[in-house]
Chains A and B, each alone.
Chain A
Amino acid sequence: MSEAIKLHYDVDGRDFTRAGEASGKIKKTLKDIGFPPEIIRNTAIAVYEAEINLVIHAGGGEIDVEIAPDYVEVVLTDHGPGIENVELAMQEGYSTAPDQVRALGFGAGMGLPNIKKYTDEMKIDTVLGKGTVMTLKIYVK
């Protein structure tokens, strides 16, 4: 693998049953390339959390992935309401997810903390009323 592989996914904000498809495909691609299992697992968990966030909070969005020999970069873009207080959202247990989402097992307030835990770099650019761009990077050590 000499050149970076680029992948793009559209995430449907209305369809909870399809949430997780993009992360599943990314996981499979990384497996096919032969990345170390830990990198695959960490990337898949981080992207799944972020993908679920797109569905719960932002009405969907887009995921762009760049896979290079020594890193995986994932950029998630949405045009949702933005994150009012990023510092608060990063705290374990803090959640603004509605009750119907909690009934499905989400909304534990672990999404963003999990993403941080499983990535080497996590950057959030958010504008209230405009949307959020989250950039994640995982290095192959």
Chain B
Amino acid sequence: MNVKNLIDEFSLEVLCCGELAEEKQITGGYCGDLLSWVMSKAKEGDCWLTVMGNVNSVGVAVLADVACILLTENAVFDDDALTRAKQNGVIVLRSKESAFDLGAKIAKLI
């Protein structure tokens, strides 16, 4: 499944770099808000579900090579983070659902 499929399936809001969605493949998923934990455990190609929408989460997404950041429960994505995400080509999506609910649904599709 690519990120575009994910966006369409769950009618996700696209906050950054939607133009890259078709080429980015999702091979797994990870839920977490503690950045060191995420860096250590998330795998390349994961769809990362989090409420952490700051510049450091973009940094972690780049380092861990996740497929996208998926902000859950309509979490805020700040301006500094958006600037950094644009610079680094990080796809950022948003949903009103919780990580638990959304994660369970996504897991069935991967």
Contact = CB atoms under 8 A, between A and B. Distances in A.
B17 interface: no
Contacts of B64: 41, 45
Overall SS of chain B's interface: helix
B40 A41 contact: no
Interface in A101-121: 104-106, 108-111, 114, 117
A111 B62 CA distance: 17
B36 interface: yes
A102 B62 CA distance: 20
Contacts of A111: 36
A139 interface: no
Contacts of A49: 36, 39
B65 interface: yes
Interface string A1-25: 0000000000000001101100110
A45 B40 contact: yes
A106 B56 contact: yes
Interface residues of B, number: 22
B34 A108 contact: yes
Contacts of A110: 34, 36-37, 40
A109 B80 CA distance: 25
Interface string B79-91: 0100010001000
Contacts of A63: none
Most buried by A among B52, B55, B59, B62: B59
Interface residues of A, number: 23
B98 interface: no
Interface of B: 33-37, 39-40, 44, 52, 54-57, 59-60, 62-65, 80, 84, 88
Interface of A: 16-17, 19-20, 23-24, 27, 37, 41, 44-45, 48-49, 52, 104-106, 108-111, 114, 117
12 contacts: A16-B56, A17-B55, A20-B62, A23-B63, A24-B59, A27-B62, A37-B44, A41-B63, A49-B39, A104-B54, A104-B56, A111-B36
